[in-house]
Every structure is written in structure tokens, then in C-alpha cells.
Amino acid sequence: MNTPSPITGRRPWQRAVVTGGAGFLGSHLCERLLDEGVEVDCVDNLLSGSTANIAHLRDRPGFRFTECDVCDAEQVLALSGPYDLVLHFACPASPVDYLRWPLQTLDVGSTGTRNALLLAARDDARFLLASTSEVYGDPLVHPQREDYWGNVNPVGPRSVYDESKRFSEALVTAHAAQRGVDAGIVRLFNSYGPRMRAHDGRAVPTFISQALAGLPLTVAGDGGQTRSLCYVDDTVDGVLAVAASRSLRPVNIGGTEETTVLEIAQRVLELTGSSSVVEFVERPVDDPGRRRPDTGLARELLGWQPRVGWDEGLKRTITYFTSQFPVDRQTG
């Protein structure tokens, strides 16, 4: 069982709604809030989320799941509440998903965010937007600070996700300024851990599933591009610390250990004992060359910093995938 963050202790909320709550990160947020005595309404349209992620929460007191499309204002405002926390995490987050559903990704970033903000305004709740390091695009500044405006291709294949999140941030800022919504923004970097899907296109689950299946690990380009992995428990700590801070300013939450994609693949091979080989494949368009957050604001404002190193996080994630692998192998 998860325990309350040592940073902020028990949370000041009684009832929360988590949009996208059946997704990878959303399900971990639901679980942590329940562990801390908060009643949770999990809302998801199951486009990229799965009820399997929340199956273990179904019978817990204070938990309720509602299949709901946040782009439908009538459905969202029909949620009973009242809530004192709205965590807006609904959005396809993997390249596989947002490239498959580009219009839905843009819709949830715009209409979905607006509806979630209206819900927060209705109940005078704290609102927190899950934004992303992708708002920095392929950055020309390193590491990336919150005051960096980014280098995003507005018409590239990744733009449906990148620009959706950038617009979400603008919408949150406008609602806070004009309507007084108590709203914050958290920019997440390369979160990973149990409940990621094996084939969602992101490096860690892709490499682990390939290694366990004895398949080549497909590394994009020469693998020299960098990432800063943040284990899901640390991400959840950071998210809830930002929510409790009442800060409106965007806050980076991510790992401080920068490593290359090739190094991640090689370490997965070592930890799994796999005989798989690395296979270099074409690098996707607009794939960021370097990615590392400046987390000084989170450290100074919240006292937050990651506690789980990427090597330990990989071990925990591999343990999860190993337990799931027979199912993954049969179903593909």
C-alpha cells in the first residue's frame, strides 16, 4: 500500500475527481488518494484507459467509477460531487494513442479541459492540469525551466499532443485570471512504472516487453537522445504536492538523472537477462534530442525531489511486466 508523501503529509481534501482515472497515471493517483482517506470519483471514457487498471479499487470504500467523456459538458456537470479537488488527467499520452486519435486528443485538450474547469468552478474546487514536457518541443534550452517557451512544430505529427497541452495551459491560465478558478499546472517528464501498456510506444514498456519476449529492442535513431525517467510513485508525490500548494505557476515534475535511450535499452537487457539484441530503427519526426527538467522550483516551493533512481524504478517495472508477461505474450 502506498503511504502519504513525506513532503506534504495528509492531504486537505475530502472528495476528488480524477479524469482519465483508468489510465496508467490516473489509476495510481486514484489509489494514492484512497490510501490517504480521500473519496475518489474515477472518470474515464476508456479510449486509452482500462478498467483492469482500477479493478483492485472497485470494492474499496469511497471509490466510484463513472464511464464519462469529458468532452461532453452535460456528462461532466452531471457528476454529483461536490468536489474539493479536480485532477484533469484525461488525454491519450503515448505516441501510439495520440497518433491514432489525433482529433480526440485535440478535443480533450480543449473542450475536455474547459469542461473540467467548469466542474471545478461549480464546486469551488482546486483544479490541476496534467501538462507535459512536450510543451517544450525539441528544446533549444537545456535543462528545461518553466519559463522556457519551447520549440514546438505546430503542424508536425506530434503537434496534436504538444499543441493540445499548450492550449490546455492557456485555457487554465485564462480561467484562473478571469473567473478566479483555483487552478494549477504540472508538467510531467517521462513517468513510468507498473500499469503501463506493453505496446504503447514509449521507451520503457516497449524495451521491457521486447526483452521479455526475446525480440530485438528497437532503439530510434542512434539512441543518443536523452530522457529523464521519473518513477510513478515520485510522479504522484509531485502531482499531489503541486495540487496542495495552491500554486498557479507551471511546475516541472520529473527525474533529475538524464540518460540516453540506448543506455535505457542496455540496462533493460542487463536487468532482464534477455539475450535480445538492440536494433536501430528510423527516428520519429520531431523526436526531442534532449529532455531533462530543471526541478528547482519543485524543490524550493514544495520540497519535492525524486526518491527512486531510474535503475531501481526499472527493476520494479520489470517485476510488474514479468508477472503480466504470459498474458501479454498470448494477447499480443
User: Annotated catalytic sites, by residue?
Assistant: 161
CA 75, 76, 79, 83: dihedral to nearest 10 degrees? Answer: 180
CA 206, 208, 214, 220: dihedral to nearest 10 degrees? Answer: 40
Contact in structure between 251 and 297 (CB atoms under 8 Å):
yes
The 3-state DSSP class for residue 280 equals strand
Q: CA 124, CA 141: separation in Å to the nearest integer?
A: 37
Signed CA dihedral, 258, 205, 316, 212: sign only = negative
Cell 495552491, residue located = 246
Q: CA 75, CA 72: separation in Å to the nearest integer?
A: 5
Q: CA 324, CA 332: separation in Å to the nearest integer?
A: 12
